[in-house]
């Protein structure tokens, strides 16, 4: 029988209700024991590295999860499942995908409803994740298992606050869907997860959380001026600008980007859910002008994932040029 190591990070899937609001309280082994028939698919081993809600995740916990993934694989695990809060689940999955290179499937999952809530998706999501980990079609690479679908970590985003099918891959679709008996592939799993790999040092469990690169994200929109970026410059190691459309910004913000590039790298993403960034428009904040200033473009990466990549690349000690080259 295959061996699957489950790494618990917290989240709704591990939460219990309380008078002052629900919070993670269940250990990973309790989650596993709560899913009927899950042991029929694999010999399960469990380790907890955190008990955080998804909205309060930090790179220290992500690094601890990465270390546990590497250790589990070194100890012979055939696959790894990471349980996590949904708010930043896609961020962590992407971080593991680019900085935790292991030759077995890594499947990240969670739930929108707790185990104790009616219609909970926790048991089915955890079962799907284990099934994916031993399926044999998904190594290497990191995927997200949710609502009977498997999504590439690079593409998946949380699209709805509480719907059970919240994780989608805009413009791409799922890599696979699961029925009661079979797995149906829609895309090449390895191609779907391919991206630039960063050194393992990017996620070092011994690094203090405060030692990670400081990368704020600045949103462009109606009336946004350059001050929204300038206030971060004294402490920032890099900046992500979430542009509109193809990756454009207001004129004032575009001027601030030009100044910021004298000291830090700037990556431009789009607030649109699907489609690439492209340099098409002129004027002070248009994509052509930003490109000429020297920004890197996020391509089809979401703002959150562009920030994850920039943080980890800078933290790993890559040169500014090398970090910028990891983007499209």
Q: Indicate whether 328 pLDDT > 80.
A: no
Percent residues over pLDDT 90 in the chain = 94
Please, what's the largest Cα pairwise distance for the chain? 61
Straight-line distance from the first to the last Cα atom of the chain, in angstroms, rounded to the nearest whole number: 41
pLDDT on residue 194: 79
pLDDT on residue 166: 97
pLDDT per residue as tens digits for the range 157-184: 999 999 999 999 999 999 999 999 899 9
Percent residues over pLDDT 70 in the chain = 100
Q: Which residues contact 4 (CB under 8 A, 6 or more apart)?
A: 41, 42, 43, 44, 45, 77, 78, 79, 80, 81, 130, 133, 134
pLDDT per residue as tens digits for the range 141-152: 999 999 999 999
What DSSP assignment string belongs to 108-158?
EE--SS-TTSTT-SHHHHHHHHHHHHTSSSS-SEEEEEETTEEEETTT-EE
Q: Indicate whether 17 pLDDT > 90.
A: yes
Q: Indicate whether 92 pLDDT > 80.
A: yes
Q: Indicate whether 123 pLDDT > 90.
A: yes
pLDDT on residue 190: 83
CB 25 within 8 A of CB 115: no
pLDDT per residue as tens digits for the range 41-50: 999 999 999 9
β-pairing verdict for 79-83 and 3-10: parallel
What are the residue numbers of the active site? Answer: 86
Q: Do 3-193 and 213-325 fold alike per CATH?
A: yes
pLDDT per residue as tens digits for the range 237-280: 999 999 999 999 999 999 999 999 999 999 999 999 999 999 99
Please calculate the CA angle 226-232-236 and round it to the nearest 5 degrees. Answer: 130
Q: Indicate whether 7 pLDDT > 90.
A: yes
SS3 for 283? coil
pLDDT per residue as tens digits for the range 224-237: 999 999 999 999 99
β-pairing verdict for 105-109 and 141-146: parallel
pLDDT on residue 196: 84
CATH class assigned to 213-325: alpha beta
Domain boundaries, the chain: 3-193, 213-325
pLDDT on residue 238: 97
Q: What is the mean pLDDT of residues 108-137?
A: 96
Which run of H or E residues covers position 322? helix 320-325
If 0-12 CB within 10 Å is exposed, 13-18 middle and 19+ buried, where does residue 59 land?
A: buried
pLDDT on residue 32: 95
pLDDT on residue 143: 97
What is the reported pTM? 0.95
CA distance 98 to 320: 18
- E-strand ranges in 53-101 read 79-83
For residue 134 the two structure tokens come to 């031993």
State the chain's mean pLDDT as an integer. 95
β-pairing verdict for 239-243 and 266-270: parallel
Comparing CA positions, the residue from 106, 72, 68, 81 lying closest to residue 13 is 81
pLDDT on residue 316: 95
Which run of H or E residues covers position 49? strand 43-52
Which residues is 184 bridged to in the sheet?
177
Q: Indicate whether 109 pLDDT > 80.
A: yes
pLDDT on residue 174: 96
Q: What is the mean pLDDT of residues 28-44?
A: 94
Which run of H or E residues covers position 69? helix 59-74
Comparing CA positions, the residue from 205, 207, 265 lying closest to residue 236 is 265
pLDDT on residue 27: 95
Q: What fold is seen in the domain 3-193? A: Rossmann fold (3.40.50)
Q: Indicate whether 64 pLDDT > 80.
A: yes
Whole-number Cα distances in Å, 280 to 54, 65, 134, 219, 277: 36, 40, 45, 19, 9
């Amino acid at each position: 029988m295959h061996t699957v190591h489950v790494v618990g990070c917290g989240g709704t899937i591990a939460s219990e209700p309380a008078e002052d609001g629900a919070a993670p309280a269940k250990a990973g082994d309790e989650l596993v024991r709560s899913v009927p028939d899950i042991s029929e698919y694999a010999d399960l081993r469990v380790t907890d590295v955190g008990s955080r809600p998804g909205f309060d995740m930090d790179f220290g916990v992500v690094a601890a999860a990465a270390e546990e993934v590497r250790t589990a694989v070194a100890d012979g695990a055939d696959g790894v499942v990471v349980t996590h809060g949904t708010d930043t689940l896609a961020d962590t999955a992407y971080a593991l995908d680019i900085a935790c290179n292991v030759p077995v499937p890594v499947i990240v999952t969670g739930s929108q409803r707790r185990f104790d809530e009616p219609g909970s998706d926790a048991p089915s999501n955890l079962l799907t994740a284990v099934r994916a980990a031993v399926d044999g079609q998904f190594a290497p690479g990191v995927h997200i298992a949710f609502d009977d679908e498997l999504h590439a970590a690079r593409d998946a985003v949380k699209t709805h606050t509480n719907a059970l099918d919240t994780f989608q891959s805009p413009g791409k679709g799922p890599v696979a869907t699961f029925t009661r008996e079979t797995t149906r592939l829609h895309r090449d799993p390895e191609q779907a997860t391919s991206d630039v790999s960063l050194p393992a040092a990017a996620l070092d469990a011994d690094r203090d959380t405060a030692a990670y690169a400081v990368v704020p994200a600045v949103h462009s929109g109606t009336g946004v001026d350059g001050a929204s970026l300038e206030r971060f410059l004294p402490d920032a190691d890099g900046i992500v600008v979430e542009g509109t459309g193809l990756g454009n910004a207001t004129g004032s913000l575009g001027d601030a980007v030009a100044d910021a590039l004298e000291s830090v790298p700037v990556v431009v993403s789009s607030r649109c859910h699907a489609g690439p960034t492209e340099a098409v428009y002129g004027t002070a904040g248009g994509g052509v002008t930003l490109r000429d200033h020297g920004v890197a473009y996020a391509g089809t990466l979401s703002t959150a994932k562009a920030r994850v990549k920039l943080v980890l690349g800078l933290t790993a000690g890559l040169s500014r040029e090398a970090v910028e080259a990891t983007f499209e």
